[in-house]
Amino acid sequence: MFAFEDRKADVLVIGAGAAGVRAALAASHTGAEVTLVSKGPITKSGSSFSSLSGGWGIQALVGTERTEQNLEDFYNDIIEAGLGVCDPGLARILVEESGPRLQDLLAYGLLLRKDDKGKPLRVKGCFSHSERAFLTENVSNIRETFQTMLNASGAKVLVGAAAELIVLQGGCRGAWLVTSDRRIVRVMAQATVLATGGGAGLFEDHLASEHETGEGYALAHHAGAELKNLEFIQFMLGIKENGRRRFLPLSELDGPGALLDSDGRDIIMKHIQGEENRKRAVEERMAHHPFSTRDSSYLIDLGLAKTRSAGKRAFWRNGNPAAKRAEVAHMAHAFNGGAAFNDNGETTVPGLFAAGEVAAGPHGADRIGGCMMTATQVFGERAGRSAATRAMKKRTMPVASPPSEILLKKDPEEKRSCSRNLEALAMARDVFSRELMVLRNRRGLEECLSTIEHSRQALVAESDQSILSLLTGEHMLTAMQLIAAAAFKRGESLGPHCRADRGSTPDSPIV
């Protein structure tokens, strides 16, 4: 049986990635009592602490680099990558505050990679024109830095999942949580910061972890918050090897590596007509990891997608003829959309703030590499500070909400297992992973939406034990539905959203 518990906080932070921890610290520095809840283990769950890339790239301008020209170039990079759908005001804030927020991290112990002369290394980052992104030293140092920040915040920490946001008197007043030690906790809070990361884990092939399943999109949506840009998802070319996933080494795409189908045919040769077109597509593909329709590099991704949707597998052959071929697939990496928020980090629901990958605005259709980590710090700090300021003004606690409907929804037949929920979810995930990948069309998106609805009908809470699986399942289905609906609505191709049926992609020499 689950035990019920009531708690109070000035600010509740949901999620303990880079954005959540930064928000908790800022809220506490502003004078608020903070409770933080995380679904996964602290400093180990979330893309922020992924060991796949060995650390972060993070865009920032510090100290004397913060000239008007450099700030303007940084801003223009974001706007150009965003293809008209990023929020210019938020992009401006991100640029202005990137340096101070990086300096905060350095003060808490973050280490940067240095060159032979001891100067921090700088790299361009995908879709960017300047060598502005810093590289962090390693993942264990990132984890230590954020643990230090969390300790400094003095936040009370709970490990568990947010089940539902509490919306009362026209504002967000905390959340219902289900903790890993089997408690159902109602946290009444004056302000709540949503920092649950993105939804890459909704896809069968992804580079994130099992915790990034878009639950925050569902929580925000159920609370009445506006979401935007959910159709813009970054997909990378990835390799599956010995049960592990890694980025395809793009620098080897023009040799000695090759993309082959299961008949051993070269995918680029087969799908792109003409030597000049192939050369240009390869050159442009090597310039950015995320798939995008913005240049002719997309022809390579479409060749791969067509190969796989014809039922064939695709492989990467590296330069070593003796090496085993490894399977290649598109892998979901990060979301550029989410809950819309204003300069203070507040969503369209008063008292509900959002930061990090769950939030949308500072990035558009494509985003420059290294800018997400910057966004976690700039808007995590703003969201935490504003949430605390709101909480300090509202000292009377609202009347407690009635128990969450979802937590009371139980089937009396306790004997059945959770397998039915898992099956329903797997069915939706299968269609979603196929139809929301790099090649999208109206028919596939309609099929996806109806499968999600069908799966939702099949979900049940059979016992206390299955409440968590029901909640996760419901949130995942809602997130899939929101994403599929956004992709359905946007008829034209833009950035990583490729509508193969309503072509505004450049003339395609694909056969």
Ligand X SMILES: Cc1cc2nc3c(=O)[nH]c(=O)nc-3n(C[C@H](O)[C@H](O)[C@H](O)COP(=O)(O)OP(=O)(O)OC[C@H]3O[C@@H](n4cnc5c(N)ncnc54)[C@H](O)[C@@H]3O)c2cc1C
| Residues near ligand X, by CB under 6 A | 14-20, 37-40, 45-48, 50, 52-53, 56-57, 161-162, 195-198, 207-208, 211-212, 215, 333-334, 356-358, 370-373, 376
Query: Which of 37/227 has CB closer to ligand X?
Result: 37
Nearer to ligand X, 15 or 337 (CB): 15
Q: How far is the CB of 175 from ligand X (least distance, A)?
A: 8
Three-state secondary structure readout of 264-307:
CCEHHHHHCCCHHHHHHHHHHHHCCCCCCCCCCCHHHHHHHHHH
CB of 74 to ligand X, least distance (A): 14
Question: Among residues 374 and 493, whose Cβ is nearest to ligand X?
Answer: 374
Q: Would strands 171-179 and 156-168 be described as parallel, antiparallel, or unpaired?
A: antiparallel
Nearer to ligand X by Cβ, of 26 and 207: the residue is 207
Instruction: For residue 299, give every residue at least 6 positions away whose Cβ sits within 8 Å of its Cβ, in sequence order, or none.
Output: 271, 272, 277, 281, 508, 509, 510
Tokens 């223009």 belong to residue: 76
For ligand X, give the closer residue by CB, 259 or 373: 373
Looking at the Cβ atoms of 57 and 171, the one nearer to ligand X is 57
Judge whether 27 and 193 are in contact, CB under 8 Å: yes
Cα–Cα distance between 406 and 176 in angstroms, integer?
Answer: 10
* C-alpha to C-alpha distances, 448 to 149, 430, 444, 452, 494, nearest whole angstrom: 42, 9, 6, 6, 20
Q: Which is nearer to ligand X, 245 or 410 (CB)?
A: 245
Shortest Cβ distance from residue 271 to ligand X (Å)? 27
Instruction: Say how far apart CA 471 and CA 333 lie, in whole Å.
Output: 24
Q: Please say whether the beta carbons of 218 and 475 come within 8 A.
A: yes
Give the nearest distance from C-beta 276 to ligand X in angstroms: 33
Shortest spacing between CB 377 and ligand X, in angstroms: 10
- Work out how close the CB of 504 gets to ligand X at its nearest, in angstroms, rounded to a whole number: 28
Min dist. Cβ of residue 354 to ligand X (A): 9
Rounded-to-integer distance, Cα 407 and Cα 24, Å: 27
Kind plus residue range of the DSSP H or E element containing 4: strand 3-14
For 7, the token pair is 């708690």
DSSP assigned state of 442: H
Which residue lies nearer to ligand X by CB, 144 or 254? 144
Q: Which of 271, 289 has the CB closer to ligand X?
A: 289
Residue type at position 21: V
Work out the number of other CB atoms within 10 angstroms of the CB of residue 309.
12
Contact indicator for 350, 170 with CB cutoff of 8 Å: yes
Give the shortest CB-226-to-ligand X separation in angstroms. 18
Which of 135/391 has CB closer to ligand X?
A: 135
Residues whose CB falls within 8 Å of the CB of residue 20, separated by 6 or more in sequence, listed in order: 13, 14, 36, 38, 193, 195, 196, 355, 356, 380
Q: How many helices (H) and strands (E) does the chain have?
A: 13, 17
Length of the chain: 511
Separation of CA 25 from chain center: 21
For residue 129, the minimal CB distance to ligand X (Å) is 17
With respect to ligand X, which residue has the nearer C-beta, 460 or 479?
A: 479
Measured from the CB atom, the residue of 83 and 165 that comes closer to ligand X is: 165
Distance in Å, CB of 156 to ligand X, minimum: 14
- At its nearest, how many Å lie between ligand X and the CB of residue 28? 17
Shortest spacing between CB 272 and ligand X, in angstroms: 28
CA separation, residue 413 to residues 178, 335, 474 (Å) = 21, 39, 20
Contacts of 167 (CB under 8 A, 6+ apart): 173, 223, 224, 349
DSSP, collapsed to helix, strand or coil, labels residue 69 as helix
